[in-house]
Amino acid sequence: MGEALRIVTACLIVATASFGLAPSSPEMHSRYGLSDLERFTVRPGITATVQYGADHLACQIQIEPYHPLIHQFDPAPTLISSKDVSEILDELAPVAMRGKEINEGSFQASCGVGNFHEYENVWVLRGMSACAPAVASDSGAEIIFKRDICPKVKPPVSVRKLNAP
Are 86 and 124 within one domain? yes
Largest CA distance in the chain: 88
Are 54 and 25 within one domain? no
Q: Specify the number of domains making up the chain.
A: 2
**Is the torsion defined by CA of 41, 70, 152, 125 positive or negative?**
negative
From the CB of residue 60, how many other CB atoms can be counted at a distance below 10 Å? 19
- Rounded CA-CA distance 116/124 in Å is 6
Domain that holds residue 20: 1-32
Are 105 and 87 within one domain? yes
Are 84 and 19 within one domain? no
Are 2 and 77 within one domain? no
What's the pLDDT score for residue 90? Answer: 97
C-beta separation of 51 from 97 below 8 A: no
Are 8 and 58 within one domain? no
C-beta separation of 20 from 13 below 8 A: no
C-beta separation of 147 from 53 below 8 A: yes
**Is the torsion defined by CA of 58, 59, 63, 68 positive or negative?**
negative
- Which DSSP helix (H) or strand (E) runs through 88? helix 82-92
The residues near 20 (Cβ < 8 Å, ≥ 6 apart) are none
Are 74 and 22 within one domain? no
Are 19 and 96 within one domain? no
Are 58 and 103 within one domain? yes
Which residues are 105's β-sheet partners?
A: 116
Q: What is the mean pLDDT of each run of 10 residues along the chain (165 residues)?
A: 64 55 86 91 96 94 91 77 94 97 89 91 92 80 95 64 53
Are 152 and 83 within one domain? yes
